[in-house]
Structure 1
Amino acid sequence: MANSGFNMDGYTLGYFAQLLCKAGRWRDALRIIEEEEFEPNTVIYNKMISGLCEASLFEEAMDFLHRMRTNSCVPNVKTFETLLTGCLRKRHLGRCKRILTMMITEGCYPTRSIFKYLVDAYCNSGDYIYAYKLLKKMVDCGYRPGYVVYNIFIGGICGKEELPSSDILEIAEKTYYEMLDAGFVLNKVNIGHFAHCLCGAGKFEKAFSVIREMMIKGFIPDNSTYSKVIGFLCRASKVEKAVLLFEEMRKNGIVPDVYTYSILIDSFCKAGLIEPARNLFDEMVRDGCAPNLVTYTSLIHAYLKVRRVFNANDLFERMLLEGCIPNIVTYTALIDGHCKAGDIEKACQIYARMRGNSDIPDVDMYFRSDGSNFIEPNVVTYGALVDGLCKAHKVGEAFDLIEAMSKAGCEPNQIVYDALIDGFCKVGKLDEAQEVFTKMSENGYSPKVYTYSSLIDRLFKDKRLDLALKVLSKMLENACTPNVVTYTEMIDGLCKVGKTDEANKLLVMMEEKGCCPNVVSYTAMIDGFGKVGKVNMCLEILRQMNGKGCAPNFVTYSVLIKHCCVAGLLDEAHKLLEEMKQTHWPRYVAGYHKVVEGFSREFVASLGLLNSITEGNTMPIAPTYRILIDNFCKAGRLEVALELYQEMLTTSSVFSSADRNTYSSLIESLSLALKVEKAFELYGDMTRRGYIPDISVFFCLIKGLIKLNKWDEALQLSESICHMDIYWHPWEGTINKS
């Protein structure tokens, strides 16, 4: 063109320069402009800046902006918008801030569309504070943000998976109310997102008000909107509010789907509200909404947790009939639940069913399918079954299962090893437990407190005290701090073999190591001192307990009263009874069960407390009174014994078979003390309660009558014994009705 003698006009030159800049040849563009002797203007510069931005040469583009000013060319809106859109496209947001500031300062305002893109870009980058400033800049430039921009901003904050910080959520709330004042509303998606975030911040009432405000403005919430908020309320344990929203949802004609039902049912189950969960389950079925795997599994798991195995089985059968295939979570819950309920045989059957093996005897409902569905157990499944087998004392089978588990490529974890070690310890197979202990260490698992506790407990039961103390030392060497259970097991073990001084030293050491003894620890120590006749030390331990803020409980007092009686400290025992009644007497069965938590079954049974609670489901007060009454009788202090007897009558309306001995003790003592009239009163009370006295009671009554020269009454009683339809076993001191 130049060789033919033609010059480019401004339009042609501008596009040619733009193409050269786009190719990165901006120097050639400048040279051609000079050769053409063309004075660059704003249009030419804008074309060149556009080309440079398309080539992502932003530094050069900014340089051309400065060249414009040097050459007395004034940048216009097009110049700045070209720079802004180029930088936005490549997400050079820092430059965008500088360009926008420069643009507005020079009186050039971006279009509404540019503002929209800027707000979207800064929201996507997480710079919500600057995005909010852009809304204000829009107003300063004479624009209202409008429906689209407001939704971009609030949706940008609330539409992410993670919840926004409280400061950022406040900005979203502020913008929401500004939007309402401007006459705009959120779209359907953002209503759900915004309400979800408000719930996440605990602002449940605000979330509800957002939905209601939008409804007033014509928005009809759908299942998705309600489900999001209900889901979050449930995850935040606000089940009552979730139910209210669920009811509102149905009132508004929105039909809940399986997700909404399932999340509510799951939340009810986790809160222990099994009946409401089942009612909702039945309701969803009536409404034609088919439960899914999550629905069934949640309810099955809840039933199993409260040992309602029959209900869980029934629901599982229904699940299979409906064609809903169980997964590993369902099977694991069933296996674990049956193990915890003590039905290890059923748990093993479920395990076989899961693996597709139905060729076992006594096939029940779990094996009605054709066995074509095979599900590989995971470590949690194996762990549940191993623990169940061990608790059923089937440690051999548990060990075999672990071998099979390893062969299947599923390595045991810490929990599985701990269960097996504890199982071997419980059945007295200490050598096998130590083998598993070694194997666990070789496989990279460090023994935990529970592991050591199982070994220590077994060693004490086997009276291998030296080895138990070595295990404790090893435990400390490995920086595994014993907990209160471990220390208490050792204290109890030492006390059981009469090594109370060593046990007391361990109690002191326990505190020095920062582990506070609990009521079980102190009670074990009191019982230990009592058994070796050191009742003064028992009382000292009681004082220590009170001084350290560890209140003695019902079991502690029962132990202490028993040992005071044995030592002849009857007044002290009586005083302890009064103290216990005022402060530490559990009024209800639930309270009693809480009190004995932590004590071994054998220990509670040794105090006579176990039978009392199981026989009458009432408070086990009689054993403590029996001990006191018996000892006051032996000491000849019958007035106190009778007072205690009257107290026992008023405190407990239910008596066990052991109370016959209390009657016998009182009647015999009263007869020998020539208080025969009172003895006969008790005899009458005893027979009214359905107890048949021992033959020795009759002998004592007859002796008492003879000593008072009441021969006629003595003969009458003797004759009545002969006519009783009773077969006597004098050598056992008992009687049987023939």
Structure 2
Amino acid sequence: MDAHGKPPSEKQFEILIRMHCDAGRGLRVYYVYDKMRNKFGVKPRVFLYNRIMDALAKTGHLDLALSVYSDFKEDGLVEESVTFMVLIKGLCKAGKIDEMLEVLGRMREKLCKPDVFAYTALVRIMVPEGNLDGCLRVWEEMKRDRVEPDVMAYGTIIGGLAKVGRVLEGYELFKEMKSKGHLIDRAIYGTLVESFVAANKVGLAFDLLKDLVSSGYRADLGIYNNLIEGLCNLNKVEKAYKLFQVTIQEGLEPDFLSVKPILSAYAEAKRMEEFFKLLEKMGKLGFSVIDDLSKFFSHLVEKKGPVMALEVFTHLKEKSYVSVEIYNILMDSLRLSGDVEKALSLVDEIKGSDLKPDSSTFNIAILCLVDRGEIKGACECHNKIIEMSCIPSVAAYCCLAKGLCEIGEIDEAMMLVRDCLGNVTNGPMEFKYCLTIIHICKANDAEKVIDVLNEMMQQGCPLGSVVCSAIISGMCKYGTIEEARNVFSNLRERKLLTESDTIVYDEFLIDHMKKKTADLVISGLKFFGLESKLKSKGCKLLPD
């Protein structure tokens, strides 16, 4: 257009800017603005300046927004209320409260004070950012301007204070709100009840429940669930159970969160008779008891560890409240606590029952068997997963590959590396570098392999047995023993490998090269049809 003597107009630039603003492309907005003002000499109107600054502030480019504001002032334009509010909101979002208050002061002097909607918008920006101190400073400015906060402003700041553990400050604002006769939303009650329970102030939480009911509201299930949990935390499980019955009477359809704290309290107190009665009650109410027990055991092992969970599970087995998922949860917890033997005994227990192990069972078994040094058994579990048309977990792939490398089964380990990267969407960085190393070995140059290893370690990926095995695999297939030894010598000199590890990898290197040489010899014999003649003379081609 410019080359044809028709330079673009402000309106045309505005269309481009508006399109980029709507798409949230802040840097593109600035690029168009820069061309508009500095190349074509077109100065935006106040309206367009506001839009540009707003787009930059919303996309996190506050520094550019402030530079545009400098241009705004340089062009001799006068701020509107929208101009000030765009800057104030951007500064609030960035947590620059002092600068925001300075702009707010200029807005008061030159134009007007913000109204309740503007102040509420500022509160709503800062609460999600977690800047409650800045939010309270804005609250003080609101009082200074004698602007009466609305229900939205109160609800936002009370909820924000409650969620970050400053519930008493939120409660004071709640009382202030109530004294002014505002209609308080039930969600505000729910947030305060939840925070009071979390702070172990259950008495205040019940006071809020009474206040809620006296205000004409009906408590929702979330409020009751929080109160049940608070009572159980205070070892008042009987009162908690009564409250649970109230939820049934109110027709609120209690869920797992309603019974979880009661079940936990019964389990910790070893009151199994009441525990089973509650399970029966759950069944009558339409709960999926076995699924909920799986969630319960996940909670129990996280809170109390596997020992108590196993005690409870022993009682559950007598009543046939069992599932493979519960077994898996217990097995994984035992493995993480170091009791591999007990975890594997649970695998045998599943096999001896009417339950069928799933892929998760075998994944956990792989981790346990590798820890115990039973690599062959771990490989059998891997094959079981494949037979089920499932994919092993990334943890199982990594653990089994490492186990195979440690016993010198390098080809099998590299096969697992390829399988993992082919089957999962985001494989381990270590595995990706293994394939890179094998490919680089085609150059038969130790320096190039070392460069890849340095890059890998700079990316935070440690040097492990799988990576070292990849060096052996690549050099035996494409390079020489000498270049492989040069790589390991370099790593030992840099103290990235111990001397004992270097000796072990050297033995693996020699053994693996022998295997590769033997494979080539056998392939040649098969090609020329000499294998049968050697066998007839009693020659062995492969070890048993």
Give the TM-score band, short-chain normalised.
Answer: 0.5 to 0.7
Give the equivalent residue in structure 2 for 1:125: 59
Give the equivalent residue in structure 1 for 2:2: 65
Tell whether the 8 Å contact from 1:84 to 1:100 is kept in structure 2 after alignment. Answer: no
Q: 1:405 to 1:177 in 2, by over 3 A?
A: farther
Deviations 1:61-120 (A, max 9, x none): xxx22553xxxx7x5xx7244234224424575565455446545764311221222223
2-structure distance, mates of 1:256, 1:250: 7
2-structure distance, mates of 1:401, 1:187: 65
Q: 1:101 to 1:232 in 2, by over 3 A?
A: same
Find 1:377's aligned residue among 292, 301, 306.
292
Give the equivalent residue in structure 1 for 2:111: 183
Q: 1:208 to 1:446 in 2, by over 3 A?
A: farther
Give the equivalent residue in structure 2 for 1:316: 244
Deviations 1:566-613 (A, max 9, x none): xxxxxxxxxxxxxxxxxxxxxxxxxxxxxxxxxxxxxxxxxxxxxxxx
Q: 1:377 to 1:189 in 2, by over 3 A?
A: farther
Tell whether the 8 Å contact from 1:335 to 1:347 is kept in structure 2 after alignment. Answer: yes
Find 2:16's aligned residue among 65, 78, 86.
86
Does 2:37 correspond to 1:109? no
Q: Secondary structure at the match of 1:380?
A: helix
Give the equivalent residue in structure 1 for 2:315: 397
1:223 shift after superposition:
2.3
Q: 1:395 to 1:121 in 2, by over 3 A?
A: closer
Does 2:72 correspond to 1:138? yes
Tell whether the 8 Å contact from 2:17 to 2:33 is kept in structure 1 after alignment. Answer: no
Q: Secondary structure at the match of 2:364?
A: coil
Name the one with the larger helix percent. Answer: 2
Give the letter for the 1:379 counterpart.
S
Tell whether the 8 Å contact from 1:80 to 1:99 is kept in structure 2 after alignment. Answer: no
Q: Secondary structure at the match of 2:12?
A: helix
Find 2:362's aligned residue among 436, 439, 442.
442
**Bigger relative CO (Cα 8 Å, ≥ 6 apart):** 2
Deviations 1:328-386 (A, max 9, x none): 21122221122223322222222232233xxxxxxxxxxxxxx3566751632244689
Tell whether the 8 Å contact from 1:339 to 1:385 is kept in structure 2 after alignment. Answer: no
1-structure distance, mates of 2:332, 2:319: 12
1:295 shift after superposition:
0.8
1:235 shift after superposition:
1.7
Deviations 1:685-723 (A, max 9, x none): xxxxxxxxxxxxxxxxxxxxxxxxxxxxxxxxxxxxxxx
Q: 1:149 to 1:194 in 2, by over 3 A?
A: same
Q: CA RMSD in A?
A: 4.1
Give the letter for the 2:247 counterpart.
M
Instruction: State the identity as a percent.
Output: 17
Tell whether the 8 Å contact from 2:167 to 2:196 is kept in structure 1 after alignment. Answer: yes
Give the equivalent residue in structure 2 for 1:290: 218
Deviations 1:606-662 (A, max 9, x none): xxxxxxxxxxxxxxxxxxxxxxxxxxxxxxxxxxxxxxxxxxxxxxxxxxxxxxxxx
Tell whether the 8 Å contact from 1:154 to 1:175 is kept in structure 2 after alignment. Answer: yes
Tell whether the 8 Å contact from 2:20 to 2:29 is kept in structure 1 after alignment. Answer: no
Q: 1:171 to 1:348 in 2, by over 3 A?
A: farther
2-structure distance, mates of 1:248, 1:399: 55
Q: 1:120 to 1:327 in 2, by over 3 A?
A: same
Give the equivalent residue in structure 2 for 1:566: none
Does 2:203 correspond to 1:275? yes
Structure 2, unmatched stretches of 5+, are 351-359, 373-401, 404-544
1:309 shift after superposition:
0.8
Q: Secondary structure at the match of 1:121?
A: helix
Give the equivalent residue in structure 1 for 2:255: 327
Structure 1, unmatched stretches of 5+, are 1-63, 159-163, 357-370, 453-476, 479-738
Give the letter for the 1:284 counterpart.
L
Tell whether the 8 Å contact from 2:17 to 2:52 is kept in structure 1 after alignment. Answer: no
Q: 1:218 to 1:146 in 2, by over 3 A?
A: farther
1:241 shift after superposition:
1.4
1-structure distance, mates of 2:217, 2:280: 32
The TM-score normalised by the length of structure 2 is 0.54
Give the equivalent residue in structure 2 for 1:249: 177
Q: What does residue range 585-596 of structure 1 map to in structure 2 within 5 Å?
A: none
Q: Secondary structure at the match of 1:299?
A: helix
Q: Secondary structure at the match of 1:284?
A: helix
Find 1:346's aligned residue among 269, 274, 280.
274
Q: 1:308 to 1:128 in 2, by over 3 A?
A: same
2-structure distance, mates of 1:316, 1:392: 27
1-structure distance, mates of 2:331, 2:310: 15
1-structure distance, mates of 2:232, 2:342: 32
1-structure distance, mates of 2:366, 2:121: 45
Give the letter for the 1:398 counterpart.
L
Q: What does residue range 581-620 of structure 1 map to in structure 2 within 5 Å?
A: none
1:327 shift after superposition:
1.6
Give the letter for the 2:292 counterpart.
P
Deviations 1:234-284 (A, max 9, x none): 221112211222122222222322111111111111111121222222222
Q: What does residue range 146-185 of structure 1 map to in structure 2 within 5 Å?
A: 146-155=80-89, 164-166=93-95, 172-185=100-113
1:304 shift after superposition:
0.6
Tell whether the 8 Å contact from 2:202 to 2:230 is kept in structure 1 after alignment. Answer: yes
1:303 shift after superposition:
0.8
Give the equivalent residue in structure 1 for 2:479: none
Give the letter for the 1:293 counterpart.
L
Moved more, 260-269 or 203-212: 203-212
Q: Secondary structure at the match of 1:143?
A: coil
2-structure distance, mates of 1:343, 1:147: 66
1-structure distance, mates of 2:287, 2:116: 42
Give the equivalent residue in structure 2 for 1:214: 142
Tell whether the 8 Å contact from 2:193 to 2:208 is kept in structure 1 after alignment. Answer: yes
Q: 1:196 to 1:121 in 2, by over 3 A?
A: closer
The TM-score normalised by the length of structure 1 is 0.41
Q: What does residue range 198-597 of structure 1 map to in structure 2 within 5 Å?
A: 198=126, 204=132, 206-215=134-143, 217=145, 219-356=147-284, 371=285, 376-377=291-292, 379-383=294-298, 393=311, 395-399=313-317, 404-406=322-324, 410=325, 412-415=327-330, 418=333, 435-436=345-346, 442-444=362-364
Tell whether the 8 Å contact from 1:395 to 1:420 is kept in structure 2 after alignment. Answer: no
1:296 shift after superposition:
0.7
Tell whether the 8 Å contact from 2:267 to 2:275 is kept in structure 1 after alignment. Answer: yes
Q: 1:194 to 1:390 in 2, by over 3 A?
A: same
2-structure distance, mates of 1:152, 1:174: 14
Give the letter for the 1:442 counterpart.
F
Give the equivalent residue in structure 2 for 1:704: none
Tell whether the 8 Å contact from 1:347 to 1:385 is kept in structure 2 after alignment. Answer: no
2-structure distance, mates of 1:277, 1:95: 51
Q: Secondary structure at the match of 1:444?
A: helix
2-structure distance, mates of 1:131, 1:274: 47
2-structure distance, mates of 1:286, 1:417: 48
1-structure distance, mates of 2:103, 2:116: 17
